[in-house]
Amino acid sequence: MLRVPVPRGERSSPAALAAAAAVGAAAGLLAQFVLSNRGHAPLVPPLSLPLTLVLVAAVLLVFALRLRRALKKGAGAVNPFQAVRLLVASRAAQIVGALLGGFGGGLALSLLGRSVPAPTATWLPMLLTLIAGAVLTGCALFAEHCCRVPPSDDDAEAEDADPAPDAGPADQAAFRRR
């Protein structure tokens, strides 16, 4: 299994989201070209797809706002496991939103080169999928932003303190002799 290391505490890369959207668009274009070459009707995503994407975005938004409100109350009001789950879900939703939004965009892009304009029932679900993917990605980015822990007073004091320059692993409490 391929593992992509994500640096601790850093935001998701905009390049990764752009790459996911490009892969989705390429897949949408490829699917339409294959169907067109075989003489089939264009692939039209069901209207339940953009509806589901917007519903997932709304759930992420609700959880992000709840976490944000809890962070304003104080550090003890936040369950760290819930924050991590929200962070993981938001990062996954970013990729899924970019992929499916790009897929809808690729499907719609393939219709632009046709000599006969497509009916509304064909291009509207594609456009709605593109918009819903963008909405999901935006809500997931906001949810990820809400998962950041604001700096506390202890963190500011720890940064000002000068650690011992000669301290090594043997000086840590786990390695000290009793």
Residue-by-residue DSSP string for 64-122: HHHHHHHHHH-GGG--HHHHHHHHHHHHHHHHHHHHHHHHHHHHHHHHTT-SSPPPHHH
Residue 11's pLDDT is what?
A: 77
Q: How much is the pLDDT for 130?
A: 96
pLDDT of residue 153: 58
Question: pLDDT digits over 70-97, tens only?
Answer: 888 876 778 888 889 999 999 999 999 9
* Residue whose C-alpha is closest to residue 4's, from 100, 23, 13: 13
Establish if 174 belongs to a structural domain: no
Predicted TM-score (pTM) of this structure: 0.78
pLDDT confidence tier of residue 113, bands split at 50, 70 and 90: confident
Q: Is 145 contained in some domain?
A: yes
Instruction: Flag whether 32 is in a domain.
Output: yes
Q: What is the pLDDT of residue 47?
A: 95
d(C-alpha 3, C-alpha 90), whole Å: 18
pLDDT recorded at residue 159: 54
Q: Which domain holds residue 61?
A: 14-149
Mind listing the pLDDT tens digit for each residue in 6-42?
A: 445 577 889 999 999 999 999 999 999 999 999 998 8
Examine residue 143 and state whether it is found in any structural domain, yes or no. yes
Question: Is the separation of the CB atoms in 109 and 28 below 8 Å?
Answer: yes
Task: Indicate whether 169 pLDDT > 60.
Answer: no
Residue 18 lies in a domain: yes
Band of pLDDT at residue 160, cut at 50, 70 and 90: low
Predicted confidence (pLDDT) per residue in 52-72, tens digit: 999 999 999 999 999 999 888
| Residue 4 domain flag | no
**Better-predicted residue by pLDDT, 139 or 163:** 139
Q: Is 178 a member of any domain?
A: no
- Please count the structural domains in the chain: 1
Place of tokens 């998701």: 12
CA distance 112 to 151: 50
The arithmetic mean of pLDDT across residues 123-133, rounded, is 96
Tell me how far apart the terminal alpha carbons of the chain are, to the nearest angstrom: 43
The reply to whether 160 falls in a domain is no
